[in-house]
Amino acid sequence: MKKKIFMLALMISFILPAYADTVLFMKPVTKEIEKSDANKIIKNLEANVKSKLNSISYQDISKAKLKKFGKCGMKPECWSENASEEDFQFVLLSLISMNEDEEVTVRLVLINIEDEEVVDDSSKTYDYADDANEKAIFAQIKKFSAYDDIKGGKKSKKKDKEIDKRTKKMEEERKKRERELERAREEEERLEKERKKRERLEEERQRREEEAEIARLEKERARKEAEKKKEQASKKKSLKDNAEKLERARELVLEMCAQGKYNAAIKAIVKVGEIKCECEEDAKVLALKTQLLNFNKVREQILKGVEVKNSSLILDNIEAAKALDESIVEGGTEFSQKVDKYAATGWLARGKEMEKANNYVEANEAFEKCVEIDPEKTECSDWLESKDKIVKAIYDKASVMKNFNPTKAKELLRAILKIVTAENEHYKKAEQDLQQLEY
């Protein structure tokens, strides 16, 4: 329907008379030129515009509009925005200026308001102000590409009568077309009302469906919410029961630890760890489980070291085991009561290892620590009490090595000086032999 109306409007535009488009002649702008010279050129320019073009002068425009138009300058979009509803389709701007050589330049700019574009922009320089006469300026205007669209001026009376007659005929044709357009518009409005009615009914149907869906979803949400609350209440009760179970179970595990029943305690805590309550007691059980598992690892290393007489397995784990044991049960479990015995066994093993490696200084230190920790460890005390025999054996070994391995002999002699005092009979011998070997 819109396309049909557009075609009717287009037909009317073709049969209407082709009048010249109207030009708004804006007040010329002058720059660095004598007022008298400028006025003379402006007078010639106005005469051309009035007689040669279908024009409206700035003098016929209200001050309010003229002020508004004056802000547009050469900006076509500004003219389109502020003058699109006016009776003129073009605007003619002019700039008259003079340079240092007293040459005069007349610049004419023609803007098509509807198309928002500068259609002509021409400048002409005259040697003198008098050269910019009416004839010369008309020649400049006539070169406009849009001149045929805006030319007008005086017409003969005969021509006017022909135009009036043609205009009257075209006016009747225009009114006829307007009636057709009106009927087409009414039909379009009727169809538009029907379309809107259908849309309204469809919207109402969709609204009812949406309301029914919302009600269904709300009912479903309420059902799920009730189920969720029921589930949460059940879970809360279960967690509460589990928390009580965990607390009792942890206390039993701690009792097992205090009695030295480590393997049973570990089995119990692993099983208890499967119970979850997401509570403080749950965290305590998890911590106890971690401590017990770590403690059991280092405890097993210590017991293995005692069994195979490996000092590193015992001494490297003894402090960690003691700390973990005391963190499990305040004051430690049965293990803490035996820890000194295990440590003494570790130092005994270390002493024997060092003695076997001929490292008598570290062997002596290990046996001393062994006796310090456990005075009842007779193997350690026996070694220290038989130190004179051991030193004699070391000295004899060094004496044999002096000739074929002096470096090793010096190591053995230095060891004697470190493990016995000067009162020992072999101390001075070792000292003298060492001086001889070093010099």
pLDDT in tens, 64-91: 888 888 889 999 999 988 888 888 999 9
Instruction: Please state whether 156 falls in left (phi above 0), alpha (psi between -120 and 50) or beta.
Output: beta
Q: What percent of the chain has pLDDT over 90?
A: 44
Residue 92, beta-bridge partner list:
25, 110
- Helix 157-258 to helix 2-15 angle (10° resolution) is 150
pLDDT in tens, 182-194: 999 999 999 999 9
Arithmetic mean of pLDDT, 278-303 = 76
Contacts of 104 (CB under 8 A, 6+ apart): 33, 37, 41, 96, 97, 98, 125, 126, 127, 128, 129, 131, 132
DSSP string over 1-66: -HHHHHHHHHHHHHHS--PPPPEEEPPPEEESS-HHHHHHHHHHHHHHHHHHB-EEEGGGS-HHHH
Two tokens at 361?
């200084």
Instruction: Report whether pLDDT(7) > 50.
Output: no
State the virtual CA torsion across 247, 250, 252, 257 in degrees, nearest 10: -160
Of 15-24, 109-118, 314-323, the range with the lowest mean pLDDT is 15-24
Arithmetic mean of pLDDT, 358-369 = 93
Give the amino acid at 330: E
Instruction: Report whether pLDDT(278) > 70.
Output: no
Give exposure, 149-179, as e/b (b: 16+ Cβ within 10 Å): bbbbeeeeeeeeeeeeeeeeeeeeeeeebee
SS (H, E, C) 276-328: CCCCHHHHHHHHHHHHHHHHHHHHHHHHHHHHHCCHHHHHHHHHHHHHHHHHH
Arithmetic mean of pLDDT, 279-291 = 71
C-alpha to C-alpha distance for 357 and 129, rounded to whole angstroms: 124
Q: How far is CA 439 from CA 392, 406, 415, in A?
A: 24, 12, 19
Handedness of CA 341, 332, 321, 323 (dihedral sign): negative
pLDDT of residue 383: 93
Tell me which residue of 301, 288, 300 sits closest to 257, measured CA to CA. Answer: 288
pLDDT in tens, 381-435: 999 999 989 999 999 999 999 888 999 999 999 999 999 988 888 899 989 989 8
Mean pLDDT score of the chain: 84
Tell me which residue of 330, 331, 271, 333 sits closest to 296, measured CA to CA. Answer: 333
pLDDT of residue 19: 54
Tell me which residue of 369, 375, 325, 323 sits closest to 343, measured CA to CA. Answer: 369
Handedness of CA 289, 292, 296, 297 (dihedral sign): positive
C-alpha to C-alpha distance for 357 and 379, rounded to whole angstroms: 18
pLDDT of residue 331: 65
Two tokens at 313?
């397995």
Burial of 383 (0-12, 13-18, 19+ CB in 10 A): buried
C-alpha to C-alpha distance for 365 and 315, rounded to whole angstroms: 14
pLDDT in tens, 303-335: 899 899 899 999 888 888 888 877 777 766 777
Q: What are phi and psi of 156, to 5 degrees?
A: -75, 155
Q: Are 171 and 16 in contact, with CB atoms under 8 Å apart?
A: no
Contacts of 378 (CB under 8 A, 6+ apart): none
Instruction: Report whether pLDDT(1) > 50.
Output: no
User: Any idea which residue has 């804006």 for tokens?
Assistant: 26
| 21-151 is classed CATH 3.40.50 | yes
